[in-house]
């Protein structure tokens, strides 16, 4: 006993490493893409255009549809033969991947699906962050002749950095706990290509009733996420700018 | 670009609406078409009368309002402490708080349940509402990020004017963070309105059920009846959408910057 559960996981369990690899691949792809997409949408929706409340609501809506209904919708979108995604790809002359049946395409499919949440909470947080930037900064920059890109680079990005940091930290934590959609849509398949880490904890605990192994898995997850978060806080000193910080 | 994106993002909802307007024969038909061949409204009254939805709505509203008020107040107060005061062990406490988010809820579910069972709070609303008095790590971290972006000189000016720390919080920090506070209200309301796991675990008397449990009962009892499920789903979504439309009014660029004029 003692550390036996941990030793076995590290040395004898290929599924442990598989789950870790799947989750890492998903995190590396979905977190940066998701943050970039959310920021782009927030900036799009921060304009003074007629009907902006309607546009904001339309982008936010996927986050309001319960996950059961959402999973049904996405199975329909990813259907290899008559799903809407492959109809579009087919019409554009591109291939028709077997999204949820081909191990190669499973993680990309989940990443695409995760982008449908880019108009949700993360976008709202960016939108709130954009509000907090004094408009006098942009006015001063315009007087100095700064173009749109350099305003974005030198005002928007640094002023948003506390919020971006928040979204990054929470994005990583969330991606390591990704569970519901993988459970509902593919249940880890095909050939364990979507065996997310949280799904493997769930299986060991509630399907195989190996509570010791499941607890060991949970503690390893906790240690990994804590280490990444601490590293992010360390690195944040170099790129996150707080106007009200005591120096 | 705005229109293209909006169209793509609203597809799931449009699909839900369209399905709720179809007859069952049409939903079962393969291949599935988006637009209903013949529009029918019969799914809505049928779904409404199938379960005591009025009762569920009242219960859900009660839990949701308690959670939202408690969360915003507590999170804003704790975040102010983390953002503005230096004290021993602050960073340790902050990481301890963040650590509460790092285990999946499936892992902590059972110990937390046993805790509530020991204090005989099962089948009451206490396990669903009392935790919100602690604000939640997500909200506290979020508000801290916004509070730290407010220049310190403003605090100092108010201190010189004889304002206490509580006054600074109420009259400077909170007004300047309106969009962030609105975001917390929105997330807490939606999270609580939508909460499924909590009511599922803690409520056993059907009179106490919330709307999300009602939807799931519906899913089980009427699993072949997708049209009614989608109709009930829409009824579930409407209050959240209404709140969103009110809340987004506060996201108007420059509306909250009067305190920073002339800087």
Which A residues 7-36 touch B at CB under 8 Å? none
Check residue A117 and give its pLDDT: 84
Question: Cβ of A225 under 8 Å from any chain B Cβ?
Answer: yes
pLDDT tens for residues A11-69? 888 899 999 999 999 999 999 999 999 999 999 999 888 888 889 988 888 888 766 66
- Per-residue pLDDT of chain B in tens (263 residues, 90 and over written 9): 777 777 777 777 777 788 787 777 777 666 666 677 777 777 777 777 777 888 998 999 999 999 999 999 999 999 999 999 999 999 999 999 999 999 888 788 888 999 999 999 999 999 999 999 999 999 999 999 999 999 999 999 999 999 999 999 999 999 999 999 999 999 999 999 988 888 888 998 888 898 888 877 776 665 557 777 778 888 888 888 899 988 888 876 544 444 444 33
Mutate: best of A86, A242, A246, A247, partner B, most B CBs <10 A: A242
Non-local (6+) Cβ contacts of B81 within 8 A are none
Check residue B14 and give its pLDDT: 78
Contact: A127, B251; criterion CB under 8 Å: yes
Question: Cβ of B60 under 8 Å from any chain A Cβ?
Answer: no
- Our separate counts of H helices and E strands in chain A read 13, 0
How far apart are alpha carbons A123 and A182 in whole angstroms? 23
pLDDT tens for residues A172-209? 999 999 888 888 888 887 888 889 999 999 899 888 98
pLDDT tens for residues A195-245? 999 999 989 988 898 888 988 999 999 999 999 999 999 999 999 999 877
Mean pLDDT of A124-139: 91
Are B192 and B63 in contact, with CB atoms under 8 Å apart? yes
Residue A158: alpha-carbon gap to chain centroid? 22
Check residue B255 and give its pLDDT: 44
Question: Cβ of A58 under 8 Å from any chain B Cβ?
Answer: yes
Check residue B260 and give its pLDDT: 47
Check residue A68 and give its pLDDT: 65
Q: Give CA torsion, residues B213, B214, B220, B221, to 10 deg.
A: 160
DSSP assignments along B181-213, one per residue: HHHHHHHHHHHHHH--HHHHHH--SGGG--HHH
Question: Cβ of B98 under 8 Å from any chain A Cβ?
Answer: yes
Contact: A132, B179; criterion CB under 8 Å: yes
Tell me A97's DSSP state: -
């Amino acid at each position: 006993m003692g550390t036996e559960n941990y030793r076995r996981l590290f040395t004898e369990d290929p599924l442990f490493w598989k789950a870790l690899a799947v989750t890492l691949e998903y995190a590396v792809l979905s977190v940066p893409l998701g943050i970039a997409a959310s920021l782009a949408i927030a900036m799009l929706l921060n304009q003074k255009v007629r009907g902006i409340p309607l546009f904001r609501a339309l982008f936010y809506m996927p986050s309001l549809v319960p996950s059961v209904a959402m999973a049904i919708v996405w199975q329909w979108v990813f259907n290899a033969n008559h799903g809407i995604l492959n109809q579009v790809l087919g019409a554009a002359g591109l291939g028709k991947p077997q999204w949820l049946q081909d191990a190669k395409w499973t993680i990309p499919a989940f990443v695409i699906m995760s982008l449908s949440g880019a108009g949700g909470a993360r976008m709202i947080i960016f939108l709130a962050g954009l509000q907090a930037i004094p408009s006098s900064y942009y006015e001063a920059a315009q007087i100095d002749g700064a173009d749109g890109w350099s305003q974005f680079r030198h005002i928007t990005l640094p002023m948003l950095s506390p919020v971006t940091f928040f979204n990054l930290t929470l994005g990583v934590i969330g991606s390591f706990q990704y569970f519901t959609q993988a459970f509902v849509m593919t249940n880890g398949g095909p050939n364990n290509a979507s065996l997310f880490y949280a799904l493997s904890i769930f299986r060991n605990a509630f399907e195989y009733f190996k509570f010791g192994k499941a607890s060991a898995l949970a503690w390893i997850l906790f240690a990994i996420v804590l280490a990444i978060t601490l590293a992010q806080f360390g690195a944040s000193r170099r790129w996150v700018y707080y106007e009200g910080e005591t120096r | 670009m705005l229109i293209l994106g909006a169209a793509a993002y609203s597809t799931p909802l449009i699909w839900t609406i369209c399905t709720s307007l179809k007859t069952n024969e049409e939903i079962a038909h393969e291949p599935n078409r988006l637009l209903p061949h013949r529009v029918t409204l019969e799914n809505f009254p049928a779904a409404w009368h199938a379960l005591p939805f009025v009762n569920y709505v009242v219960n859900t509203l009660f839990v949701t309002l308690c959670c939202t008020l408690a969360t915003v107040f507590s999170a804003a107060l704790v975040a102010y402490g983390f953002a503005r005061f230096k004290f021993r062990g602050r960073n340790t406490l902050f990481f301890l708080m963040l650590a509460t988010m790092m285990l999946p809820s499936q892992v902590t579910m059972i110990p937390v349940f046993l805790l509530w069972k020991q204090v005989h709070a099962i089948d009451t609303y206490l396990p669903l509402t009392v935790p919100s008095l602690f604000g939640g790590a997500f909200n506290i971290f979020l508000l801290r990020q916004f509070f730290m972006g407010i220049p310190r000189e403003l605090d100092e000016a108010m201190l010189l004017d004889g304002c206490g720390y509580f006054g600074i919080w109420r009259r400077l920090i909170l007004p300047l963070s309106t969009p962030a506070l609105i975001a917390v209200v929105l997330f807490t309301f939606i999270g609580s309105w939508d909460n499924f796991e909590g009511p599922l675990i803690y409520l056993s008397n059907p009179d106490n059920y919330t709307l999300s449990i009602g939807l799931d009962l519906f899913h089980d009892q009427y699993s072949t009846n997708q049209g009614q499920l989608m109709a009930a789903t829409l009824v579930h979504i409407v209050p959240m959408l209404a709140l969103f439309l009110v809340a987004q009014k506060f996201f108007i660029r420059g509306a909250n910057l009067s305190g920073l004029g002339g800087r």
